[in-house]
Amino acid sequence: MILVFLETEPDGLTETSREALTLARGLAGESGGAPVDAVLVGAPSCPADTAVEQAAAYGVRDLHHATGEAFDAYGGAVWATAVEAVCRDTGAGVVVAAGTPRGMEVLAHVAARGGVAMAANVVAAEGSGPLTVTRQVMNGAVLEDMVLDEDPAILTVAGHAVEARPAAEPGAGRLVPCRPEVPGADLVARVVSAEPPPPDLSGDLTSARVVVGGGRGVGSADGFADLLELTDLVGGALGVSRVVTGNGWRPHHEQVGQTGSRISPDLYLACGISGAIQHWAGCASARTIVAINTDPEAPMVTRAHYAVIGDLHEVVPAVIEEIRRRRDAP
């Protein structure tokens, strides 16, 4: 049996959780049709019924929902207790999560407790006992082939490494409530207070559908005015390169890259960004990349799907004007 740790958003399962379910289903097929179960911990941000329905569409048999006061606030160790309990009770041989900060943290706890290996940022997996996986290392510049021959095999899936596809035949989609026991030690590291995000356009970069990116080519803190206007027009989030945060033009929480956020939007509009390997590590999972750059040989341009060659300070205002013109057209 394969167990998938799920994360939710108000509309249901996150895209990356759907991708993890898709990879798990592929592995299940290689194991002769092993069932795929899922685990949800605490109060999901969407109705539980929605999560069950969507999980079933991705082939999930049982959705184990761990509830109880201990799981209300997020804590890596305590949430791992829930995943570990479901894993033990169901005899899962493989545990999968999306390669998000939360997915990584929870499964790392599960792996540490079990004394087994964990493969992070997997892009492909095949076989069963042992499992052979390929994962991204060195910011995605290098691939590592690993063998996971321990029980359970634990892995997280890199964003957009797999295309999320509903199952040809939906799973049973049974909701299985559970209340795992929680050792007191697991409750030590928990959130004691939370602040809302600052009122800016960085939004939730990791789940934004559109990200407008700015790099060295923006030139200054004031140079972001047009990019912010475009970000607002497309209802997106602003992301920046490390050069920008290093120069103090924008705050670090907007940084995309190996040491910033890893994004997987439908569209990444990269303006004045050369595409250094560290930045590429954070944006390579975008479905469509459009680069606006003066240098046609810049790595971001040659790796993009579409490009406009030119100064972003001339191109972006023209794009804004064109969008407004079409909106105002009768």
Partner 1 sequence: MTDVLVCIKRVADATGEVVLTEDAQAVDGRHAGFTVSAHEECAVELAVRAAHATTGTATVVTVGSDDAVDQLRAALSVGCTAATHVHADPTTYGPRDVAAELAEVVRAHTAAGRPHDLVLLGNDAADSGDFQVGIRLAHELGWPVVNGAVTVEVEDDDVVARVHASSGHETYRVPLPAVVTVLEGGVEPRYPSVPGRMRARKVEVEDRKPVTDFGGASRVRLRLPPPQPSEVQVLGDGPGAAPALVDLLEQLGVLR
**Contact, 280 vs 299, CB < 8 A?**
yes
| Contact indicator for 19, 163 with CB cutoff of 8 Å | yes
DSSP 156: E
* Residues 136, 144: Cα–Cα separation, whole Å: 6
Q: Which of 286, 244, 17, 295 is nearest to 140 (CA)?
A: 286
Tokens of 138: 């060195």
Residue 247 tokens read as 């120069």
Residues 44-103 that bind partner 1 (CB under 8 A): 74, 76-77, 101
Q: What is the nearest approach in angstroms of partner 1 to the Cβ of residue 59? A: 27
Q: Is 308 among the residues that bind partner 1 (CB under 8 A)?
A: yes
Euclidean distance between CA atoms 304 and 162, whole angstroms: 19
CB of 300 to partner 1, least distance (A): 10
| Choice between 177 and 306, CB closer to partner 1 | 306
Identify the CA nearest to 96 among candidates 59, 66, 121: 121
Number of neighbours of residue 165 by Cβ within 10 angstroms: 14
Residues in region 185-204 near partner 1 by CB under 8 A = 185, 188-197, 204
- Helix, strand or coil for residue 61? strand
Which positions from 223 to 242 touch partner 1 by CB under 8 A, shown as an x/- string?
----------xxxx-----x
Name the minimum Å distance from CB 11 to partner 1.
Answer: 15
Could you say whether residue 28 binds partner 1 (CB under 8 A)?
no
Of the candidate spans 21-29, 85-93, 107-115, 213-221, the one that interacts with partner 1 by CB under 8 A turns out to be 107-115
Return the residue of 10, 145, 220, 222 that touches partner 1, per CB under 8 A. Answer: 145
Cβ proximity of 230 and 320 under 8 Å: yes
CB of 245 to partner 1, least distance (A): 7
For position 176 contacting partner 1 by CB under 8 A, the verdict is no
Under the binding rule (CB under 8 A), the answer on residue 149 touching partner 1 is yes
What would the x/- binding string for partner 1 be over residues 267 to 286, using CB under 8 A? Answer: x--------xxx--------
Q: Please say whether the beta carbons of 78 and 184 come within 8 A.
A: no
Is residue 210 a contact residue for partner 1 (CB under 8 A)? yes
Residue 31 beta carbon to partner 1: minimum distance, rounded to whole angstroms = 19
